[in-house]
Structure 1
Amino acid sequence: MSSSRMKVFRWKNCYADVAASKHGITVQSFFDDVIAPAICALEDKISALGRSGDPGDAFAQADMEDVLKETKMAFGLAIQSIWERQLRGYLRGCASELMPSNALAAQVTKANWTQLCELFLELRGIRLNAFPSFADLDTLQLLGNACRHGDGSSAIEVAMRCPELWRVYPPMPFEDQPRDSGLPPIALMDVPVERLREFVAAVAIFWDDAEYIYNESIERKHPSLEAKLARERTERNWRPQATPDGGA
């Protein structure tokens, strides 16, 4: 189908869309103003200990490296927690406004990740996995569970999807037993700060895409919004199209 005949996907706008307009800024600010400075401070301390001539500082450096690793895991959990609270709040707002008699808002509160994805489709008419950022958001959900609970099904899935989150250690001298070929424990995971940045970007991109759909769904648009959307339609990598039944 030619682009001229494609119909832009629209949903029924809610106040929840307005309330979510700053979510991307919030999570990006958390990274820029909290995560990045904290990690830089720890890395600087590790470097200073490494330059020290005090023999005891070699042990302190190793301890601080463990602190850094745990800090990055904690920040991974924090990013996932912010994202999940944002999404649940958004869906509760949509449910309360669009289907107040269906008790969907209560379902949102109790739903697991799979159920949240189903509720998103029911409430917004588009699959959550249609959003380009979904792959990272799905992995972020698993990472958060793994960081919160430790070894388990989520940690196994993260290890299968993202083996690069674990360091590869060379065999020890005179090691005569083969290394365990099983999946590595969560205690050895070391999340690169760049990966945290990518997760934050995925959350921000999701909310930016949601705002784009919101703007397209406004029935009577101000000329300035029409001009903005005209630019976005040519610049955006993703513009969801409506299916014959009105969904996407």
Structure 2
Amino acid sequence: MTPFRWRNCMADVHAYRHDYTVQAYVDDVVAPAVATLKAKIEELSRSDWAPAPFAQADLKNMLRETMLAFGLSIQSIWERQIRTYLIGCASELRPGEPVAAKLEKADWPELCKWFRKLRGINLEAFPSFPMLDTLQLLGNACRHGDGKSSIELALRHPELWPVIPPLPKGFGFSPPLPSSVSRMEVSVDWLRDFAKAIAAFWRDAEYIYNESIERKDPHLEARLVRDRVERTWLPQATD
């Protein structure tokens, strides 16, 4: 079997730290901020201060909104990375064509199509794609609120919404719709999984880049021998 190869671009070189960037963001920014909020919530739960229950409820709501904001920020980091990468590839592979302008305005499905056109492989072929696709839905839901993306997200991952038992008949107001973004709860584990998916994509892209180098030095050849044994995904040429 022949490994899949593409035409390497400077954009591949410039992407060398993308995996580190997103994982460091979760480890060094997201996790400490969430831990601080949770500690304050726990402290209020033990407080004998009269307004403590109300302050705790406010902080819990703030935590939920913070998690949505972090989810959106991770999706934004990923989208900027992949969009900039494709624009860089287009500048080398399609010089003189107005591809960059199209990529700047492209939505997620269009970016996926352009990835195929520019790199010769479907973005959907990458093992990380399901999580990246879910991340796109999450970003849309966090940015725009209830709508098509939140409904699709709820169908794929109902576990993002807590189960609320129905109220007795004639008692109180009906709760928000089950898939309402106002009830969505995103955990740190989910954010870590999104970051891992982004990092995995860039590591897979780096592997293809290394396979695509025509003249490999002995060190790289040895590394690729190990990679071909250890990796769970080895994209193959179709021709």
- 2:188 maps to 193
* 1:39 and 2:20 correspond: no
Q: How much has 1:171 moved relative to structure 2?
A: 3.2
2:25 pairs with 1:25:
no
- TM-score (normalizing by structure 2): 0.96
Whether 2:138 is the aligned partner of 1:143: answer yes
CA distance, structure 2, for counterparts of residue 184 and residue 208 of structure 1? 34
State the Cα deviation string for residues 159-185 of structure 1 (Å, max 9, x = none). 11111111112234x444797795421
| TM-fit CA distance, 1:228 | 0.6
Q: 2:10 aligns with which of 15, 34, 55?
A: 15
> Secondary structure of the residue that 1:21 maps to in structure 2?
coil
Which residues of 2 match residues 147-226 of structure 1 at below 5 A? 147-172=142-167, 174-176=168-170, 183-226=178-221
Counterpart in the other structure of 1:3: none
Moved over 3 A (4+): 174-183
Structure 1 residue corresponding to 2:226, chosen from 216, 231, 238: 231
Give the Cα separation in 2 of the matches to 1:155 and 1:108. 25
Which amino acid is 1:112 matched to?
D
**Number of residue equivalences:** 238
- Do the aligned partners of 1:150 and 1:186 also contact (CA within 8 Å) in 2? yes
Q: What fraction of aligned residue pairs are identical, expressed as a percent? A: 58
**TM-score using structure 1 length:** 0.93
Report the Cα distance in structure 2 between the residues aligned to 1:192 and 1:181, rounded to whole angstroms. 20
The 1-side partners of 2:175 and 2:59 are apart by: 27
Residue among 66, 70, 81 paired with 1:75: 70
Q: Does 1:101 align with 2:96?
A: yes
Segment drifting more, 215-224 vs 100-109: 100-109
RMSD across aligned positions (CA):
1.5
- What is the CA–CA distance in structure 2 between the aligned matches of 1:37 and 1:53, rounded to whole Å? 26
Paired with 1:80 and 1:134, the residues of 2 have a C-alpha distance of 13
Q: Is the 8 A contact 1:9 1:240 kept in 2?
A: yes
Asked if the contact 1:80–1:140 (Cα under 8 Å) also holds between the matched residues in 2, the reply is: yes
Question: Structure 1 unaligned runs (5+)?
Answer: 1-5
Deviation at 1:193, TM superposition (A): 1.1
Deviation at 1:209, TM superposition (A): 0.3
The match for 1:126 among 112, 121, 128 is 121
Is contact 2:161-2:178 (8 Å) kept? Answer: no
Q: Is the 8 A contact 1:50 1:57 kept in 2?
A: yes
